[in-house]
A and B are shown apart, each in its own frame.
Chain A
Amino acid sequence: MKDTDIPLDIIFINDDLEVTTIHKGKPNSIELLEGEGSYVLELNQDSGVKVGDELDFEPENKRIKKTDKMLVLDSGGEVQMELDGGERIFSRKHTKTLIQFAKKAATTDNENDYKALGKRMFKFLDIQSNTTPEYVESKN
């Protein structure tokens, strides 16, 4: 790393947000470091990060704990499905919209159509994140 005085961990991360390679960046060295990934994370050396660790854009305290269980109930209150807590569910309407946008993008292979799909997904995920969870008592 030229012109950089700080010893760093150079962490390569792939599209699945997994660490693929870690290099020790030597201060002021011009050595080229190779790795695979959509992201490179630089932290102080000896960060404790290992290959296989996952990068998370949503720090722990915002997430629902995995030990919470979620039951999907039908209109009669009977359990249709059991899920680990924190699962997100798209409404039938939103699912239909996303499928339409996805089909269009797959047909045209046009970047703008993919962009539109992405924006729509963000919009729906945002609605999910900002809607207060609604819980009802299950019969069991």
Chain B
Amino acid sequence: MKKIKIQIAGKVYTVELAETEGQHESGLQGRKELKDNEGMLFVFDGNESRSF
């Protein structure tokens, strides 16, 4: 998955970009750990309410 750098609340993170439905489904499943400067960003079409 593509990785990008983002900043939020004063901290810079390197996050994996989850764009496709498949990537949305898998997310961070099966991962044993996540570093404090890492994360995952899910991108959706539209601004509606969603359940996650």
Interface residues of A (CB under 8 A from B): 1-6, 8, 10-12, 14-15, 19, 23, 32-44, 47-50, 53-60
Q: A15-B47, A41-B41, A58-B7 are in contact. List 18 more A-B contacts (CB 8 A).
A: A6-B31, A6-B34, A8-B28, A8-B34, A10-B52, A34-B50, A36-B47, A38-B45, A40-B41, A42-B34, A43-B13, A44-B35, A44-B39, A47-B11, A55-B7, A59-B5, A59-B7, A60-B12
* B residues adjacent to A (C-beta < 8 A): 4-13, 15, 27-36, 38-52
* A56 in contact with B51 given A8-B28, A43-B13 (CB within 8 Å): no
Residues in A whose Cβ lies below 8 Å from that of B33: 6
